[in-house]
Structure 1
Amino acid sequence: MKIGFRLGFHFIRSLCIGTFFMGIFMAIFMEGILPLIGIGKDDKDTEALIVFSLFICTLLIGAIIYGWHISRPLFRMISWINQLAEGSYVTPANTKQMYKKKTGKLKGPYRLYKDVFLNIEHLTNRLREIETEREQLEKMKREWMAGISHDLKTPLTYITGYSALMLSPDHTWSHEEKEKFLQEIQQKGDHMKELIEDLNLSFRLQDSQIPLKKEEINIVEFTRRLIADITNDPRSQQYHFSFESSNTNIIIPIDTKLFHRSLQNLFMNAVLHNPPETSIHTSILLQEDIHIIIEDTGAGMDELTVQNLFKQYYRGTTTNVSNEGTGLGMAIAHKIITAHGGTIHVTSEIGTGSKIHIILSNH
């Protein structure tokens, strides 16, 4: 609407100015120039023909000049849009020519399309951001695929190695040795199963293929039992867990299986990426909403890791304690909590620890 008004106003103004100067020119031409070339007022037909021809020529020249003046920004827009279509998401170098050097404002014809240029510039910046994010995602995917291949290959190596040892005819193994081998095989098999389940769940969540089967449960007791299970995990033996709640009975409708997986991923992330003897404290607060807070005193994360923590395929950059994990666990936790209408935020500082804050609606 603004562009139409500006173009209409500009056309009327240009028409008035052009008519005014054309009138002055015609008056000078008829009164001053025609008598000089021997055409008097008595020769009406010749005078009318010359005046009409001159009027048409002036009109055509004016239309050409006006069209060129108005269309210059359009050609620049078309060139810019073609550049975007070719995948070049940068502001053209000649854009500076559209602005006045002293004031920095758009020049006359470009002011008519100010909104369009601003929108194209915004689109350019947004497409550039999206392209950067896409490149980062592709990089994370490649790194993640390399990591997953390694994670699958490592337990397979253990399984095939221990199986070959047990089947070797060159040695007779004791019952204790066989039991140890079988425990290792089972542990590595469970790890492979976890990797495959994470892959499957991640893709199903991404495509919104999992309907939530909610049931009302006491989130306090639910979390307490989950922490007890985590502490019994062999990987958690050297970590210190604690739990507190402002209420003993907080009822909330959740999909218990998925929400269990979400919290489990958050707890195991704190275990796998922090050194032994790390303290992991969980608290539940009932205010207007339900707040679940998981804090640890571990290694902490840098800003880049915090920003990408819930992105799929991201495996972290700061911890050197353990690189175990699929790179999907935190993304899965985030998607499940979001599917329940909740939010999850993380704050962290290197050398101090991390804090994960989950907020669930109490309505």
Structure 2
Amino acid sequence: MDGGGDRFDVVVVGAGPAGAAAALAARRAGATVLLLDKASFPRDKPCGDGIAPHALDVARELGVTGLADGYVPVPALRLVGPGGRAVARRHARPAYTIPRMVFDHRLVEAALRAGAVLRRHAVHRVEDRGDHALVDGDIRAGAVVGADGAYSLVRRALGHEPNAPGHLALAIRGYAHAPGLAPEQRIVTTAAGWPAYAWAFPIGDGRANVGYGEVLRGQPLTRSHLLERLSALLPDVDTAGAAGLRAHHLPLSTRRPPPGRGRLLLAGDALSLINPFTGEGIFYAVLSGALAGAAATDPVAPAARYRAALRARLGRHLRHSRVAASLSSQRWIVDAAVRAADRDQRVFDALIELGLGDGRLTPHTLRSIATVAAFSLHDHAKTAR
């Protein structure tokens, strides 16, 4: 039976970007909110630290500003295809590199200022009792938002296993001293271990967030392998001296569980919302958290409301990103996309929107990539003759 503990309209498990955004959205709807996290803040979180402007847009809609204060916008992106061809162009809107130690803490602090309660607590059990949910036997909630990461307890309570190989990536990241690094985000893809890439994202203080990741295919990846590939793909960066090297799993959006059932909802990594093409997850986390937090205040059918909101806001984009992930399994298509983006700013902008925001595969982009691919095949055939 229910214990005699606390009662809240909404309980959020996990206080990262998805959880903090859920708390903010629920508070804006007038709900009482409890945020639970096993860590104390500020805390580090292994991540590329890339913050797309789309995430800041959602935060502003939640009444939060100043998340990027003190950090220099990164105006450009350099993408190297698996065949070695590169494109370097300016972002339509600059991105940021903000360590999660800072970004997550600022977002949690905003949730607390809005009236949410934060408690350090490792959750062990979540139950849907029909007219309410119960957390660890004595915290009663109108709904629970699971924002507790790739190995979410709330996800398991809904009967869904973590992502399997093929839909799960492993990456390692650290902070390297790189004062001479160009003011651009750099992504270097590689044919070895495809799909796989290394990144270097300047923070603006002489350091860069550097990392390497690849999709798991059923075989274990060792730390030494990840570090060797990181060093090989970023030869001009002192990756050997990088501090804070930590590995983490990335549950890709190509295999998502249902977003919720009854009074239990999933957001962010718990919902496998990691872009399969770029590994971006912060925008997805903040957006899905905001949608889940608002839906969790529905006294009758929070999961149904959340499913509808998520479908309306991200449904078409997620279908397009899944198609893009399928196409990008062929390295020659990625090389063609890089060449097309190098020729045409519109293609570059569309690919950025697809990889960092909620964009789609536009007809113009598809035609441009197909044209480049056709010319490449023609040239290859001529050379072969």
TM class, shorter-length = under 0.3
Greater radius of gyration (CA)? 1
More helix per residue: 1
Indicate the structure whose relative CO is greater, using CA pairs within 8 Å and at least 6 residues apart: 2
More strand per residue: 2
